[in-house]
A and B are shown apart, each in its own frame.
Chain A
């Protein structure tokens, strides 16, 4: 079989970039390794350029094992954007708290590669490979601060739990394979339509949900995420919360909406329940948190719940909602975590209490944190509102209870976001010296702010793109 390389240029370029950073890092002197960050940034931007440029290309290669359509391209771009922001916005944080640029940056790149491979996966094996490439890279990244026991604990927890989850996922895959006799999504879908099914398939389905739900940290498979988010370096947390989550959602859609549509009646309600559970648990437990990273972790569990709503719809509008939301979610989360990291750089603390008077010490940071959190809460004039609108639109007839729950829960989330706002804005700082933010951080913050607000006021273009992408998913 002939391989159409034009379809996988992005992946190839990314792989080259990763290796290049690695080898380059080995040959240049330690002192010069600072530059690797810039190289990674540059490379990623180029790769993003390639990805955007190759938007028109669609098709399948490797005999259907690798699917390239607007849907996958969209999520690839999302992942790459996340990677770029991580590399750019956290440079000082990495320099100060992580070190070891060489492995760090190359691993970031490989994690990204894993994501986009997984996004394009057309069969179980590619799925598994991409997933594991991503996961293993992330384990490395999570445990990167090997001098910090918290980071190590997070790493080992992530390792073991991820191992179990992928074991479960694989078992599920094997069962589905057993039930349908194929590992290609397309053929799976076909054979289900042709009537293959039964208990085997159901159990496989459940295990798939568990395995992928773990990756998107959907309750009740979310329990790893707070610990890992808290323990991991903030940059990694940010990447974990955005890139990995978005990619996992892409594959979740690919597997369920794409290939298991035949047995919808079995999983739609299940996903709906999981979504509701994620909203509830995420938002409720976030309330009493005192560590901002941990709070954001729980809120990202809730966010997973919202995004899953789009899968419940199992329709084009639902998929479109998911895409739109994950795009804006990347910027909101990145903005928030960038602030967290930048503040940590100055005051060496992630405790919310220590954010007192931030509005006066670093107005921009405080504002961005406010805006990003509110966007996650879905307050209008911010992108999150539009995103939620699209998501809930998809399910409003038939799932009113879920819509109401989702909206009420997002208002609850405002409660704990506002507690941070309270500390930042009301209190007067212990020491009022202004916090000087680096240019890279400032720019990242401005980007996050700009995109969040702009898409909140004028979401037209993005929703058009998401629409076409969703269309391509259903009619290749």
Chain B
């Protein structure tokens, strides 16, 4: 019976939300502060857990209450909150972005109270998916986030190429459709596991031990792949992503691009690949192809954009292509790289969206041709923008490079030429990022922007926090990689065993 620190981390935002419910509507500064405190506590706790995790031992640690608490007996569901090297980076990422997202929406005054409540619920929901080691609990958190996001988009979103109503509805329904397939797959998975073993156990560990027949695995993996893939904005299930981000308010874009997408990748590893290795082996080539198409296609799409948010929206699709590619390699290096890439992209995308949000607040436009020379009036903002951009094009010394390189190492070995196409994506990426940066920040100063102010006070938080992570993670990749490796290595060992025995 240990102290349930993870559950506490999970409850911190919820608690803050409850407090805010009883705060006066008018005093939005107070609401924001409470939200900041709540997320701050969660962040502190997750940092404590992250650095308190014993990598030499590995496996699941910080198990709440010491062992799984029986939850739904007949489904074999247990309240099993624990973390390993795979969950921890995601947990940390969630709280990093959650914390900064509060500050990124610091200037929102319109119905700020509701915004903060929804935001906190959202953060808690996402957190739950990463610390739950039980499939059912995972599912509980998996979809809950969708609805707050919808409400946030339609209230605080912005209408440009598409109306925010359209964007919100598309985002929501698209992801729910994906999750329908996922759910079907999960139900079938569970029922079959019961039929095979005779005991109902929904913990990921338990399911991983079940020996599903190969045909079944292939068929289930397809369902899961559609489900998680659409959340990962896997081509061709990506088209929700740019519109969604464009319509969404800053905080939502940050969290969605930063963390939510990662749930797809996380689920693919935790559930699809680990539980259904044979299916994974069957589908891996197709995943790789889709990943590469996603990389090149989305990069090209981003190149054609004039709206900053669309640029980043497409670029995140393209980056997820790398993640998919890494996962498809089914090798330890590739999957380590993929997980690290998810973390890195999360930080980068969050910073990018927060900076774009600030620009939009100031200039009331995201249309690149209407901008230019912003660096003269807002140097700090420009710094943040450039850091995010450079991270996005995988500049060494920032957190995104090593993960991408690691992915390349494995996928180049496994897929050869296919991977080369993916690697070529870095050129296009550089092109659209540099263009966006150049046309937004540099060039002659425009008088109409002379009034706008640089970042100051709370607005600096996203830049400082995320920027620090970008640099530190770039200089000391081992902080991230040792952790991930300690989590992925045992899973991969298990998979390889299965592939040896079950394979042909």
Contact = CB atoms under 8 A, between A and B. Distances in A.
B211 interface: no
Contacts of B155: 425-426
A389 interface: yes
A253 B70 CA distance: 31
Contact of A374 (B142, B147, B195): B147
A380 B132 CA distance: 14
Contact of B188 (A400, A411, A457): A400
A408 B154 contact: no
B154 to A, nearest CB: 4
Interface in A441-466: 456-460, 463-464
A463 B72 contact: yes
Given A389-B187, A457-B140, 19 more contacts: A379-B144, A380-B139, A381-B144, A385-B139, A389-B75, A393-B190, A400-B184, A403-B187, A404-B180, A408-B177, A408-B180, A411-B173, A411-B177, A414-B176, A425-B154, A426-B151, A426-B154, A458-B71, A464-B73
Nearest to A408: B180
A140 to B, nearest CB: 39
Interface in B186-223: 187-188, 190-192, 195
B144 A418 contact: no
Contacts of B405: none
A396 interface: yes
A397 B189 CA distance: 10
Contact of A407 (B151, B154, B183): B183
Contacts of B184: 392, 396, 400, 403-404, 407
A421 interface: yes
Contacts of B392: none
B454 interface: no
Interface size class for chain B? Answer: 35 or more
B191 A397 contact: yes
B74 A380 contact: no
A460 to B, nearest CB: 5
A463 to B, nearest CB: 6
Of the candidates B70, B140, B146, B187, the one having the most CB atoms from chain A within 10 angstroms of its own CB is B187
Given A393-B190, A400-B188, A408-B180, A421 B150 contact: yes
Interface in B134-155: 136, 139-144, 146-147, 150-151, 154-155
20 contacts: A380-B144, A389-B136, A392-B184, A393-B190, A396-B191, A403-B188, A410-B180, A411-B173, A414-B172, A414-B176, A415-B173, A418-B169, A418-B172, A422-B154, A425-B155, A426-B154, A426-B155, A458-B72, A460-B73, A463-B73
B103 to A, nearest CB: 24
Most buried by A among B141, B142, B176: B176
Contacts of B180: 404, 407-408, 410-411
Contacts of A459: 72
Nearest to B165: A422
A400 B222 CA distance: 14
A65 B255 CA distance: 61
B169 A415 contact: yes
B151 A421 contact: yes
Contacts of A380: 139-144
Across chains A and B, which 3 residue pairs bring their CB atoms closest together, nearest first?
A: A407-B180, A411-B176, A380-B140
Contact of B191 (A393, A408, A422): A393
Contact of B151 (A379, A425, A458): A425
A397 B183 CA distance: 14
B116 to A, nearest CB: 15
Nearest to A392: B187
Nearest to A418: B150
Nearest to B111: A360
Contacts of A412: 173
A418 B147 CA distance: 9
A400 B188 CA distance: 8
Contacts of A414: 172-173, 176
A454 to B, nearest CB: 13
Nearest to B21: A363
A192 to B, nearest CB: 29
Nearest to A394: B191
B181 interface: yes
Contacts of B169: 415, 418
Nearest to A417: B147
B187 A464 contact: no
Nearest to B154: A426
A120 interface: no
Interface in A399-433: 400, 403-404, 407-408, 410-412, 414-415, 418, 421-422, 425-426
B140 to A, nearest CB: 4
Interface in B150-184: 150-151, 154-155, 165, 169, 172-173, 176-177, 179-181, 183-184
Nearest to A410: B180
Nearest to A463: B74
A467 interface: yes
A476 B172 CA distance: 46
A372 to B, nearest CB: 13
Contacts of A404: 180-181, 184
Contact of A460 (B71, B146, B151, B195): B71
A407 B139 CA distance: 14
**Interface-centre pick from A359, A374, A407, A456 (highest chain B CB count, 10 A):** A407
Contacts of A464: 73-74
Given A396-B184, A421-B151, A422-B154, A379 B146 contact: yes
Nearest to A457: B140
A396 B144 CA distance: 23
Nearest to A414: B176
Nearest to A371: B147
A184 to B, nearest CB: 32
A351 to B, nearest CB: 19
Contact of B143 (A379, A389, A458): A379
Nearest to B79: A458
A189 B183 CA distance: 36
A403 B220 CA distance: 14
A103 to B, nearest CB: 42
B21 to A, nearest CB: 9
B154 A397 contact: no
Interface in B217-270: none
A305 to B, nearest CB: 15
A319 to B, nearest CB: 13
A404 B227 CA distance: 12
Contacts of B74: 463-464, 467
A412 B172 CA distance: 10
Most buried by A among B142, B143, B155, B172: B143
A457 B74 CA distance: 15
A422 B154 CA distance: 7
A423 to B, nearest CB: 10
A30 B192 CA distance: 63
Contacts of B150: 418, 421
A379 B75 CA distance: 18
Contacts of A422: 154, 165
Contact of B192 (A379, A397, A408, A418): A397
Q: Which of B74, B114, B141 has the most CB of A within 10 A?
A: B74
Contacts of A396: 184, 187-188, 191
Nearest to A456: B140
Contacts of A403: 184, 187-188
Contacts of A467: 74
Nearest to B144: A381
Contacts of B141: 380-381
Contacts of B114: 359
A407 B227 CA distance: 12
